[in-house]
Amino acid sequence: MMEHQRWYSSRTQLLLGGLLTIAIFLFLPCFQPEGHGKIYQKKKTPPVRPEMIVSTVWLAAHLNDPKVVILHVARTRTHYDEGHIPGARFVGWGEITTTRDGVPNELASVADLQELFARLGVGDDARIVLYGDNSGLSAARAYFTLDYLGHGGRAALLNGGLEKWKAERRAISTQTVEPKMAAFTPRVRADAVTNFDVVRDLSWTAANVPSPSVVLIDARPVDDYTGTIPGEGVPRGGHIPGAASVFWMQNLASKENPTLRSAAELRKLYEEAGVQHGRTIVTYCRTGAQASHSYFVLKHLGYDVVMYDGSFFEWSHRQGAPVVAGRERK
């Protein structure tokens, strides 16, 4: 009888030990410190938002669609007058930006933006296609503006822009479009843009916390990031502590062919800079122009992103705001 009890006890202990081992194996990732769970769990990859870009083929087939509004965004009217996509309406850079508290290229007021888009005939149910000068940079800024106004879900960039349209020998017009007024209702998304005080705290986290929950993306050229070339109006060259350098032109096949690189290539580019699903992602540049393109691309890749519109121009002028020179993040 005693032998039988000892055998039963040993068998029970072995069974319980096996169950405990299985439980530890299954639930161990839940108890890992932040930054270590990825050893056991595959990182989530957000789905791409394909509706944020349209092809030249698609646009050519929708030129006469009354629900499609095409906007040509450029620094000067000359860029539009020299030849634009038939039916496109001109948007000047100065119409969507303003100088506020000495900082250039800030978002124009909601009232001014509402008046602009209503005058351009951008109704609340329109499908908006954007393209323009500077390899799509101005169009990306217009996208950010519309996204801030709550209409980003209806807006898309023309992939390859006017450059690709012309290369394919598609129709070009020099006729000015006179649109009819339309009802444009702002639905402001305050979470699309952030400010100096918030970025100061996020910068500290990015620079000091292991496996930080925030990623700052500096969209300027590398020489601006390192401080080799401070940039116009920038009193202190360098970058915000903790920020990673990803020049916005890396999003494109080339300057001459401003077609977006594949989603896989773009995701790899930004993941190497620390971008992950679930992290707070902030883009900035000198005055919020280049950062608009990074903002667009990261949204296209499915990430949640905000932009520091004051960017390094404001940061470098703020007394006490730390600046890092060189290639190191901090």
Identify the H or E element spanning 257.
none
Residue for token digits 């096949």? 253
311/309 Cα distance (integer angstroms): 5
Among 120, 285, 301, 324, which one carries the catalytic annotation? 285
Beta carbons of 315 and 239 less than 8 angstroms apart:
no
Q: Where are the beta strands (DSSP E) in 30-182?
A: 53-54, 68-74, 89-92, 97-100, 103-107, 127-132, 155-158
Beta carbons of 88 and 71 less than 8 angstroms apart:
yes
Burial of 180 (0-12, 13-18, 19+ CB in 10 A): exposed
97/104 Cα distance (integer angstroms): 8
At 256, the amino acid letter reads E
From the DSSP assignment, how many helices (H) and strands (E) are in the chain?
12, 12
Beta carbons of 276 and 212 less than 8 angstroms apart:
no
Which of 113, 159, 97 minimizes the C-alpha distance to 307? 97
At 55, the amino acid letter reads S
159/252 Cα distance (integer angstroms): 10
The reply to whether 30 belongs to the active site is no
Q: Would you give the DSSP letter of residue 298?
A: H
Task: Look up residue 122 and give its two tokens.
Answer: 């951008």
Beta carbons of 171 and 86 less than 8 angstroms apart:
yes
So which residues are the catalytic ones? 285
